[in-house]
Structure 1
Amino acid sequence: MTLAFDMILCLMIVGTAAAALLMRNALAAIVFFIVLGNLLGLAWLAMDAVNVAMAEIAIGAGVTGVLLILTRQRLMALGDDLVSAEMPGWLRTGALVACAGFAALIGSAVLSVAPADDLGGSIAALMPGLGIENPVTGVLLAFRAYDTLLEAFVLLGALVAVWSLAPRGAWPQRPAALALAENGGHGVAAAFGRLLLPLALVMAAYLVWAGSDLPGGAFQAGTVLAGGLIIAAIGGAVSWPRADDRYLRVALVLGPAVFLIIGLAGIAQGRFLFYPPGFEKALIVAIEYSLALSIGVTLALQVAGPPVAPDHEG
């Protein structure tokens, strides 16, 4: 990328972030936040970090943006006018100084790393033994598999925390429906949801398969699947199952369970999360597909929120 493009992109990122923070109108702030997520994805793409760019756009802009919009809608339904009190000048100044200091600290740490001090060479030397070509997948599922396994359980634990907020008498009912109440937009949303969900399923399956050798993988596929489920729910094309639904719970625990079982089976070979020679790619792809399903369903249900009593489902 050219220097001019990089400078313009940096200015747009900083300006959009400032607008998202300083806007008094909640909806306008959310819109700027979504734009910021897309700009950050473009920045990662400019640095050839395609996997990170996909995750940023899907999670940072897509799923999180929808979550903020739904949160605003529910707060307004509870009578909150979403108008924040005026912040004292000293607090604004203190926050600005703290953020500037933190940014300077991060910049100093990044610039202190010599360009030659990367792990690319070491990772490239180990990749042929896995039977895959995408180094990101290799790091996440082999060289740093402990972290990825824990992240899967943390994501599941976050959903349990959301469900724990269910009011008395709501458990184990369904989350609140996300379908649009306005007649004018309901038909369009329903048609779009029915069209988008099958495309999201196909795209998620492709991202997992391609993630072995190209940018993609379980987390990117899971967020695409979650986005398709959320849009379909908003359009009324799908409805949330009850929290005690057997198939739902299988989908939620499938990814972490398959990952853990394969990891424990590696102990027979002498090490936890060890892939037997000749089966590395097959086991990694199996983990990726099961994780993608669990991540997609978990993220969608986190956006949907805790179960509600049947008479409050609207």
Structure 2
Amino acid sequence: MIADLLLVAAMLIVALASMLARQAFTAVALFIAYGLLLTLAWVRLAAVDVAMTEAAIGAGLSGVLLLGAVRRLATQASPPPEQPPGPAMTLLIALGCAALAAALGAVVLLLPNPAPSLAAPVAANLPATDLGNPVTGVLMSFRALDTLLESAVVLLAVVCVWALTPEGGWGGVPGAAQPVQRDGPLALLARALPPLGIVIAMHILWVGADAPGGKFQAAAILAAMWLLPWMAGLVTPPPIAARWLRWTIAIGPVVFIAIGLAGAVIEGAFLAYPPGWAKPLILIIEFILTASIAVALALLVIGTPDTAQRR
């Protein structure tokens, strides 16, 4: 109980400090620290899959995205200072946040005991998928359509980012040119972490069928392992005109839809797996989606092509 109370106190302090920070870099650093503390909280709640997702995406990839935004803002002309909200508006915002927090707390505390849950039916039908991880079973079987739409949203997000390409930059290398970092922490991490990160990501993907892990966590780690060398100026992203790059992003949802249509023909329902083929088909989808999501996440962080790098 003491450890949990200290963890909650640390989360509240770091969250408040991130909102009160006057420097953008400090706020982002505190946000990443908050994500790591939230990861520990999910571990304490025995939600290891959610903890891994929070560490990989909520703290890791989002932190890299925000750090990139801070770097871009630092290179731009400073906008005119905005008028801070007055005391009345500040009080109104504080009361709104407190009311929302109280409402969420009341919803949790007033749940019936036991709380309504579909855990029992899921556990009873999980053996039909041959999967040992109930989270993977839910995402790839019972809620497979949601997972398909999530992967399609990631693909659509990349298309939307590329659609913002300035005139004359279409087909070029995404992102601004990064200065080469030959010394310092970033250079060291960009050279030392990718081999280890790739191994960890593949392990998380492989064990995801029977233990905490899976495609989204593995894809986030792989994306970060690509972004580190790019931020250090050691690698250059391929041009968005490269067909293999476009196919890599699209192949995951395409295979997912193809297997779903095959289920409609064979079993009479979209995304229905034939008996005995559920686990092999799910693993095929997981592995291919990992590559698609990893490349898409990295490209979302890198941004639109730069006209100065057009090929």
TM surpasses 0.5:
yes
Q: What amino acid is the match of 2:275?
A: P
Aligned equivalent of 1:297:
295
Q: Residues 96-245 of structure 1: matches in 2 within 5 Å? A: 96-116=94-114, 117-177=116-176, 179-181=178-180, 184-185=183-184, 189-245=186-242
Counterpart residue identity of residue 235, structure 2: V
Q: Assess if the C-alpha contact under 8 Å between 2:169 and 2:310 holds in 1.
A: no
Q: How large is the Cα RMSD of the aligned pairs?
A: 1.9
Q: Please say which of residues 115-124 and 20-29 is displaced more in the overlay.
A: 115-124
Check the 8 A contact 1:205/1:289 in 2, yes or no.
no
TM-score by length of 2: 0.93
Give the conservation status (yes or no) of the 8 Å contact 1:180–1:235: yes
Q: 1 CA distance for matches of 2:41 and 2:215? A: 22
Return closer, same or farther for 1:115/1:222 CA change in 2, 3 Å cut-off: farther
Paired residues of 1:176 and 1:312 also in contact (CA < 8 A): no
The residue aligned with 2:279 is 281
Q: Is the 8 A contact 1:263 1:273 kept in 2?
A: yes
- Tell me the amino acid that sits aligned with residue 198 of structure 2: L
Question: Which amino acid is the alignment partner of residue 134 of structure 2?
Answer: P
Change (3 A) 1:289 1:83: farther
Letter in 1 for 2:163: S
Q: Which amino acid aligns with 2:144?
A: A
1:17 to 1:301, Cα distance in 2 relative to 1, 3 A:
same
Unaligned segments of structure 2, at least 5 residues: none
**What is the one-letter code of the residue matched to 2:139?**
L
Verify the 8 A CA contact 2:238 2:245 in the aligned structure 1: yes
- How far the C-alpha of 1:197 sits from its partner, in A, is 2.2
Regions of 4+ moved over 6 Å = none
- The number of aligned residues is 309
Q: CA deviation at 1:8?
A: 1.1
State whether residues 173 and 309 of structure 2, in contact with CA within 8 Å, keep that contact through their aligned partners in structure 1.
no
- The answer for the alignment partner of 1:257 in structure 2 is 254
Contact 1:204 1:292 in 2 (8 A): no
Among all aligned residue pairs of Structure 1 and Structure 2, give the percentage whose two residues are the same amino acid. 41
Between the aligned partners of 2:258 and 2:283, the Cα distance in structure 1 is 14
Question: What is the match of residue 36 of structure 2?
Answer: 38
Contact 2:173 2:310 in 1 (8 A): no
Range with greater deviation from structure 2 (86-95 or 110-119): 110-119
Give 5+ residue unaligned stretches, structure 1.
Answer: none
Shift of 1:59: 0.9
Q: 1:111 to 1:179 in 2, by over 3 A?
A: same
- Asked if 2 retains the 8 angstrom alpha-carbon contact of 1:266 and 1:275, the reply is yes
Question: What are the Cα deviations for residues 50-105 of structure 1, in whole angstroms up to 9, with x where unaligned?
Answer: 11111111111111111111111111211136966433222221211111111122
TM-score normalized by structure 1? Answer: 0.93
